[in-house]
Chains A and B, each alone.
Chain A
Amino acid sequence: MHIVVCIKQVPDSAQIRVHPVTNTIMRQGVPTIINPYDLFALEEAFKVRDCHGGAITVLTMGPPMAEQAMRKALTYGADRAILLTDRHFAGSDTLATSFAIAQAIVKIGDSFGAPDIVFTGKQTIDGDTAQVGPGIAKRLDLQQLTYITKIASIDRHAREITVERRSEGGTQMLKSKFPCLITMLEGVNSIRRGSLDNALRAARFPILKWSAADAGIEDLANCGLRGSPTVVKRVFAPTARAQKAMQIDTTDKTAGHVADEVVASIFTNQPSLEGELSSNGSA
């Protein structure tokens, strides 16, 4: 089995601050991490390798500093790491990103054998679009299996895979074929601890850095800004609500009295609610 796992290095969004005057992102000192959703994909890839053998290639597109994320993935136990990095990719939207990554996966296939499964997280925490996975699948004509919660079985000889997929209102059981692209849902596993051996290996492991040309992209029209139909026209801060909350005074009152006041204010603001609640509430 050859598995490619697409990951992304992202700023830890919980620690991002916006400059109060200029409305620009203050990235100084914000740590970067592997997109948390991608770790579920990486762990699932390890599990498949545990059962069926093979090799895992991690692939990312990003600036040279994304090498840190690659080393981290190697520490967890990936076999090979490829960093797709080129100034021509700057400003890529999801369509251009999926183009570049798909091209790199074709090249990976030429160099190390065609992948049976491509894994990604369900989305990134910075872009939050969930579009790159489907984009890659469509460009490479892979079976697209999104929001997967479980790989139920793999039949290597028949090249078949059975999965459980989270969908609106329930879980779908799907049977598909290799090659496929799987986007993993969160919370389905937890990333294993890296071994000391892997950590030592990762520190000196030669990470392949591919430019657009290395990935076999000759025509750059589909890359970066040129290949991106969407453009950001305006960035702005959400407008603040004019009025702050009406504060209910809690000094010198019992919790019961304050609670009565809160209940009164609920029904003053939303009179219709009282009738609706009394019919099904107080159960």
Chain B
Amino acid sequence: MEIQKSETPSQATGRAAMKKELPKHYQDHRHVWVFIELERGQVHPVSLELLGEGRKLADKLGVQLAGVVVGPRDGVGTGPAIADAFAYGADLAYLIESPLLVDYRNEPFTKALTDLVNCHRPEILLLGATTLGRDLAGSVATTLQTGLTADCTELDVDVDGSLAATRPTFGGSLLCTIYTLNCRPQMATVRPRVMAMPQRVAKPIGRVIRHDLMMVEEEIVTKVLGFLSDSQSEDANLAYADVVVGGGLGLGAAENLQHVKVFARTIGGEFGCSRPLVQKGWMPFDRQIGQTGKTIRPKLYVAAGISGAIQHRVGVEGADLIVAINTDRNAPIFDFAHVGVVADAIRFLPALTEALTRRLAPRDHMKLVN
């Protein structure tokens, strides 16, 4: 429904111009918080990316940056998570440890984060737009009756100190900047890999503020029966791969995806695809790259037979080097790729695979010749 407001920019500006003085009970809200996502003992890299962004916002506002760690007592994870929070820029950390927080469940996590916010009143609260982050952010924002902006691609602080959260709208064809008026905290989620990973701090140091989870297991209705990890399956961590090869409709048929997979394997990279291929059932959703799929930030992205619709562009723009192969020299992909080849990807990918193999293993190749 947000979208309806964005149709005419002039109206939207008029509405935002109505911005009033922040109600008194919100005026003592200070500091920028980043929720440090910890699922099954591991800190999600998106939390570190958000600390980098949170640091910039906190510096502009002249306030402190805090990491919020919610996890199990005696379990692995909370200690390293706090160390990570300080190493990536947090000045302090809020910690709630409880055996009820071993696995993610909405009720105890919402309670923990809501209580912390009510107690310490942050001005800005950022979460990763992961399955956990989105589930939690929606509940917390509703409980606190505040605004929440999803999947932001840019965060800034404007002249009067408000959070300006920019996100794609209409499938990525436009961007809109959203403000949260008259409510605190101002909440936003950001997808993994949208923000760059910050540098580690040389000598991390910070203060830890502990709280108790005021809840007992009997109050929690939903129980976790088990967890089946993906690590055994071939599903890869596409978002964090250094090299990614993407296939599009230009490949013509599902069996031609083989060329994409072989090329990706040759260079030790991951493969993915554009949205139409998932809709056709040629690849699972986990492999979709773009606005509604995964955002990637590899050192090299090779787009094979992908036209480069705006939805796809949003997901790959962070790549350091984009090489595009497409038969249509006017395809939009050539507007944002760095290197372009007008060729049929089905024929060209095997040649590229061979050329790379030659280049990468010159010595082995020499041996073969000798």
User: Residues of A with Cβ closer than 8 Å to B?
Assistant: 13-14, 16-18, 23-25, 61, 89-98, 125-135, 137-139, 143-147, 162, 166-177, 186-187, 225, 228-238, 240-241, 244-248, 250, 255-256, 258-260, 262-263, 265-267, 269-270, 272-274, 276-278, 280-283
Contact = CB atoms under 8 A, between A and B. Distances in A.
B16 A171 contact: no
Interface string B320-352: 111110000100011111111111000110011
Given A18-B174, A255-B347, A281-B267, 11 more contacts: A25-B7, A98-B142, A170-B230, A171-B227, A234-B13, A236-B175, A237-B175, A245-B322, A259-B352, A262-B323, A269-B338
Interface of B: 1-9, 12-13, 15-16, 37, 39-40, 42, 44, 103-106, 110, 130-132, 134-135, 137-139, 141-143, 145-151, 164, 168-183, 221-231, 242-243, 265-268, 278, 284-285, 291-292, 299-300, 310, 313, 320-324, 329, 333-343, 347-348, 351-352, 354-361, 364
Contacts of A266: 300, 321, 323, 339
Nearest to A246: B339
Contact of B285 (A17, A92, A186, A280): A186
B135 A171 contact: no
B170 A175 contact: no
A260 to B, nearest CB: 5
Given A139-B142, A231-B12, A18 B173 contact: yes
A233 B12 contact: yes
A126 B150 contact: no
A179 to B, nearest CB: 10
A236 B174 contact: yes
Most buried by B among A13, A138, A168, A263: A168
A267 B182 contact: no
A129 B7 contact: no
A231 B174 contact: no
Nearest to A178: B221
B336 A241 contact: yes
Contact of B338 (A61, A135, A245): A245
Given A246-B338, A256-B354, A230 B224 contact: no
Contacts, number: 336
Contacts of B355: 256, 259-260, 262-263
Contact of B221 (A14, A176, A283): A176
4 closest cross-chain pairs (CB), A and B: A134-B138, A245-B340, A229-B147, A259-B355
Contacts of A23: 9, 174
Chain B interface mostly helix, strand, loop or mixed?
Answer: mixed
Given A169-B230, A277-B267, A232 B173 contact: no
A39 B50 CA distance: 34
B9 A175 contact: no
Nearest to B281: A187
A31 to B, nearest CB: 15
Contacts of B225: 162, 173-175
Given A231-B5, A233-B12, A263-B356, A255 B138 contact: no
16 contacts: A127-B1, A131-B137, A132-B138, A187-B284, A232-B177, A232-B178, A233-B178, A235-B176, A235-B177, A245-B335, A259-B348, A266-B321, A273-B299, A274-B359, A281-B267, A281-B361
Contact of A130 (B3, B138, B354): B138
B268 A16 contact: no
Contact of A128 (B104, B292, B334, B340): B292
B351 A256 contact: yes
B341 A270 contact: no
A241 B176 CA distance: 19
Given A232-B176, A233-B164, A277 B229 contact: no
